[in-house]
Chain A
Amino acid sequence: MPIFLSSQRLVAVLSGIALAAMVGCKPSPASQPLPTSKTDQLHPVVINDPPRLSSIESGATDPRGAPTRVACQTCHALRQSNPLPASMEGLTTFHQHMVFKHGDSTCTSCHVEGRHDRIHLANGKQLPLTEALSLCAQCHGPQYRDYQHGSHGGMNGYWDRQRGPRTRNHCVDCHDPHAPQIPAVMPAAPPRDRFLHAGAEKTPHE
């Protein structure tokens, strides 16, 4: 988790703004998290600004073996972007290592031709790449609704925002936007309960 916390940005601030702005199913203008409290007394909810929105895996590792990332600007500031291809086979020079497994989406479903730092909604409205949350929400309504109600996506900090702030994961903290299914992981070590081991010391009570 600390990796997420390293580059926070105040995207959504007080609940009145961010949390109530959408709430898919409920058109009511604002929902106060606590009825007894005033909004200005609540600590903010901060959504992570994940590295995926401003950099890309370089394919190389650092001396300790950890994968490294390169800022989009490193290349895109210097050279004109190639036209966005219709499919991944059309990538001939860059980004070929990336895995694309996101339904029938193509590059231009989300990306803006010629603008590496912008995305567009279905209605054509352009947004900075960092506001990808609203882009995801267009198709993944139930997940976004759950996210707004704190039941999708991890968080850190305080359950009681009268006493402290909260940090929320961004969609792409966990999901690779180009292949959103979360890959299989190795679990943490299992318990070593005495009763789980055949060779464990036996006592009359077990």
Chain B
Amino acid sequence: MSETPKRRVALKVLGATLGAGAFARTMAPLASWSKDLSMGEFLQKHYSEMTPEEMQGVLRRLESDTKREYGRDVNIRDIRPTEGVEFGYALNLSVCIGCRKCAEACHNENNHDRSTNNSYIRVLEMEQGSFDMEKGNTTYTHAVPAPGKYYMPVQCQQCNNPPCVNVCPVQATWKEPDGIVVVDYNWCIGCRYCEAACPYHARRFNWTKPEIPAEEINPDQAYLSNRIRPQGVMEKCTFCLHRTREGRLPACLEACPTGARVFGNLLDPNSEIRWVLANKRVFVLKEDLGTEPRFFYFFDE
């Protein structure tokens, strides 16, 4: 008789020990939580579900995070699309000389990681007469334009039917009403499905925490565009929405020394972009995939 309760107690103790162990193991991440994840960040809602007040709180928190981690006072805004505006971009292959000034301007404007010299634009050096993008060279360092070559900058095509958006398992990336495909960097889980789905190699992954000296940080930032991205999330070209949604031209266009880039409102029949579409020989990359890009390439006569 006296044997049974002992064994019962032993089993109870064993079970309790295992349970406590499992519980401790489950809760272990909470111990290191405060180091890189604040309560506010953990509880933050999806971009589309935040009230304006909640968004303001998030923006102020991100600003203070930037101040603490990068030593720079920045202004992060949430800029919404303008009604009646859908952005389009066109690039003149006849005049692009491959100088990479656009990629450089993007690097600086969008607070890219300095160590990788990252940019949302890759300039492909292509053989004249060929259209094999697999053979495009992005790392040339000789004087441009080189004989027998032409240059094709490639960035996010802001597809009307974006495959990157369709594959996102958590809806951290979506197409805005003005056509710009954006990422909520705080909602992204870093699975990189979108990077694999993009036929234009337009998405980048933050393998490491971006390194930027405080004095080089562009303080004019937006939540959905050029604020400094956390480690482990995807990023992409946003047509500089922190500029373009306020009516300004994108940084890559302003930097282009040959005027190869044309930007504007596709819904405005008198815009420059519409004139190009109506009067030039225009094409889109990989049209057969049905992505319906808002980024166009064209030739002069």
Contacts and interface: CB of A to CB of B under 8 A. Distances in A.
A185 B300 contact: no
A32 B268 CA distance: 11
Given A159-B248, A163-B247, A188-B103, A150 B275 contact: yes
A153 B141 contact: no
B210 to A, nearest CB: 13
Q: Number of contact residues on A: which range applies?
A: 35 or more
A90 B190 CA distance: 69
Given A35-B270, A151-B92, A193 B256 contact: no
Given A156-B254, A184-B143, A151 B275 contact: yes
A194 interface: yes
A166 B254 CA distance: 11
Interface in A168-189: 169, 174, 182, 184-189
Contacts of B98: 187
B59 to A, nearest CB: 23
Contacts of A184: 143-146
A149 B117 contact: no
Nearest to A189: B117
Interface string B99-127: 11101100000000001111100110000
Q: Number of contact residues on B: which range applies?
A: 35 or more
Contact of B139 (A155, A163, A182, A190): A190
A121 to B, nearest CB: 24
Main secondary structure of the interface of B (DSSP, over half): loop
Contacts of B116: 191-194
Nearest to A187: B100
B259 A154 contact: yes
Contacts of A182: 97, 258
B121 to A, nearest CB: 9
Contacts of B143: 184-187
Contacts of B276: 149, 151
A20 B95 CA distance: 24
Which of A35, A163, A174, A189 has the most chain B CB atoms closer than 10 A to its own CB?
A189
16 contacts: A1-B254, A32-B270, A35-B268, A149-B276, A156-B254, A157-B249, A158-B247, A158-B248, A169-B259, A174-B259, A182-B97, A186-B143, A187-B98, A187-B123, A187-B144, A190-B138
